[in-house]
Amino acid sequence: MSADYPTWQTQADETWKLSFPVDRATADRIAAGLPEIEALDPAPVLVVSEPDPVQPDAWQLDAYFEGAPEAEALALVQTLSSTGSATPERLPDSDWVTLSQGFLAPIRAGRFFVHTAAHADAVPADAVAFRIEASRAFGTGHHETTAGCLEALDTLANEGARFDRIADVGTGTGLLAFAARALWPDAAVIASDIDPVSIEVVRENMGVNGIAEGSVALAVADGMDAPALAAAAPFDLILANILAGPLIALAPEFARAAQPGAIAVLAGLLESQAHDVLYAYREQGFAPRAHLQRGDWAILVLVQGS
């Protein structure tokens, strides 16, 4: 262990918390997932607080550790700080996961209500609810991009759209695939991710939310490169909440996998990146249908016209 940090005796029933400010760019990186931190065993739960409206770059990170954090894990998390090192504190005995989830307020996006176990008793009677815990995969519904995609799906359903073959590419927790299945229960839905851990998380979330095994097909895939995706194509709805660069790179693959008239819901891009993403998809025959904005984030709803 490094001499820069104290050594604690780890106990499994202890919860430790490390808090410090982060800037907006770091908060976005955390929301998109940090593989080097997710690889820790056990991995800490990272909870990023929304900024004060009058201080848009002032975010806070709370990191929760199961047991006293090892020096290496502590040092890795502290590299995210914008102000230098911070000192962890031991919290009173408690269920560390439930404690950390309690800070994630439920999200209402159209008819959807996304919550953690800590807020299971707050589900509105008229909502389509999903329990999604912050975990090893991105897409809890608490980031603007995921909530914006849920709103886009809700709007498509309200407009009478119908889909038969749906792909959620870069699925993360599986939330968007679950939402699409709830709206169009007769459709064939497949969820894919480049990270095998995400697919494990999707399976866990299916069980938690009472979604029958096999009702959402799962695939580990780099983009559209998987036999299961090829067999399920062509799609009339493609969901991709990833990042602007991969979205641009995937435009030709999405075009080949989309049937004429297909809808693509694209997210994970900043509003400042929307023009470049839209240009890439126009080149592949897609036309804009809707453009949503949540904070600095854009959600593009496109239609394949070729």
Residue 53 has pLDDT above 60, yes or no: no
Closest by CA to 129, choosing from 150, 100, 103, 98, is: 150
245 in the same domain as 114: yes
pLDDT band at 185 (very low <50, low <70, confident <90, very high): very high
Please report whether residue 6 resides in a domain.
no
d(CA 128, CA 300): 23
How many domains does the chain divide into? Answer: 2
Please report whether residue 66 resides in a domain.
yes
- Any idea what DSSP says for residue 44? P
- Among 99, 130, 158, give the residue marking a domain's end: 99
d(CA 149, CA 300): 9
Please report whether residue 8 resides in a domain.
no
Half-sphere exposure in the Cβ direction for 287 (13 Å, CA): 5
- Among 45, 68, 99, give the residue marking a domain's end: 99
Q: Cα dist. 106→55, 96, 123, 141, 207 in Å? A: 23, 19, 9, 9, 20
For residue 140, give the amino acid letter: T
Please report whether residue 262 resides in a domain.
yes
pLDDT-above-70 percentage for the chain: 83
Please report whether residue 296 resides in a domain.
yes
Please report whether residue 1 resides in a domain.
no
112 in the same domain as 73: no
Helix, strand, coil shares of the chain, percent, nearest 5, are 35, 30, 35
pLDDT confidence of residue 285:
96
Please report whether residue 53 resides in a domain.
yes
For residue 217, give the amino acid letter: A
Give the model confidence (pLDDT) of 193-205 as tens digits.
988 888 988 999 9
Give the model confidence (pLDDT) of 250-276 as tens digits.
999 999 999 999 999 999 888 888 999
d(CA 9, CA 70): 9
pLDDT band at 81 (very low <50, low <70, confident <90, very high): confident
Contact 92, 25 (CB under 8 A): no
pLDDT confidence of residue 22:
86
pTM above 0.85, yes or no: no
Contact 153, 121 (CB under 8 A): no
Give the model confidence (pLDDT) of 211-250 as tens digits.
998 999 999 998 898 999 999 999 999 999 988 888 999 9
181 in the same domain as 157: yes
Run of H or E residues at 282:
helix 274-282
Whether the ω angle into residue 42 lies within 30 degrees of 0, i.e. cis, is yes
d(CA 131, CA 75): 32
Please report whether residue 7 resides in a domain.
no
193 in the same domain as 115: yes
53 in the same domain as 118: no
Cα dihedral angle (197, 256, 175, 194), rounded to 10 degrees?
A: 10
Tokens 């997210």 — which residue?
A: 267
Give the model confidence (pLDDT) of 143-164 as tens digits.
678 889 999 999 999 999 999 9
pLDDT confidence of residue 156:
97
pLDDT band at 36 (very low <50, low <70, confident <90, very high): confident
pLDDT band at 93 (very low <50, low <70, confident <90, very high): low
For residue 224, give the amino acid letter: M
CATH of residue 33's domain is 3.30.70
CA 201 to chain centre: 12
Residue 60 has pLDDT above 60, yes or no: yes
pLDDT confidence of residue 20:
87
CATH of residue 201's domain is 3.40.50.150
- Among 81, 99, 117, give the residue marking a domain's end: 99
196 in the same domain as 235: yes
User: Which range scores top for mean pLDDT: 53-57, 77-81, 186-190, 219-223?
Assistant: 186-190
- Any idea what DSSP says for residue 197? H
Contact 240, 180 (CB under 8 A): no
202 in the same domain as 72: no
127 in the same domain as 95: no
199 in the same domain as 122: yes
215 in the same domain as 187: yes
| Alpha helices (H) along 160-195 | 175-183
pLDDT confidence of residue 56:
63
188 in the same domain as 172: yes
CB-CB neighbours of 296 under 10 Å: 14
pLDDT confidence of residue 11:
40
d(CA 238, CA 235): 7
* Domain hosting residue 265, numbered range: 107-304
CB-CB neighbours of 270 under 10 Å: 15
91 in the same domain as 61: yes
Residue 84 has pLDDT above 80, yes or no: no
Give the model confidence (pLDDT) of 282-304 as tens digits.
999 999 999 998 877 899 999 99
